[in-house]
Structure 1
Amino acid sequence: MASSDTKDISYEDLKALLGKSENLFLVDVRSKEEVDKGQIQGSVHIPVDTVEAAFAMAPEQFKAKYGVTKPLLEAPELVFHCQMGKRGAAATTKACELGYVNARNYTGGYKEWSEKGGK
């Protein structure tokens, strides 16, 4: 049973992961309009209201729809983010409920990322 406490990740931790981790799977759960204004490099756009369906897809379907390999349930670095943290937390909780053991939420969201110049 997944815990209801989401695991969080900080700006510094995410920036470090982006620089060194081959395993990072970063999911942007904001709306298309928000993503069109800018996004964290390397993130995959999966709107928050489609996260459950997306991560429940068969790997072939996921790859066909999103153009990337679906992360394994034990993927070491699965991080969700939104604009300011709330939708990212909801998506992280949903992923945990689906069995993703290392899902985390970047609490600062794109707002903090862009303010700190995390390009």
Structure 2
Amino acid sequence: MHSILIADDDEEIRELLTFKLQSGYEVTAAADGRECWRYLENATDLPDLVVLDVMMPGLNGYRVLDRMQDDDRLADIDVIMLTSRGKEDDIVRALESGATDYMTKPFSANELIARIKRVLG
């Protein structure tokens, strides 16, 4: 079973995604970028995919993504950015930094699930 790490500071989004995804995936949730990074640094079983918010306190999603790309253990993990930042510059920055996909909030949970299925196969 594929595993997914959700990193979003919005508790309702974490709970919604966990509920929607837990029937088909192992789901772990992080409340902010620092918690996400600690999880990734210390995990013995790395997630197959990270759903990553951009605007989080402490350590934003771009910084988490940059750190992942700089770490050989983490660089190949797929990342879907899920954020309210929908400007072209934000999207290009994420994709050029190594994100696999990018979705803006508000979002359709069904569309996100379809994108996750496409990424994970």
TM-score normalised to the size of structure 1?
0.46
Q: Which structure is higher in RCO with an 8 Å CA cutoff and minimum separation 6?
A: 1
TM-score normalised to the size of structure 2?
0.46
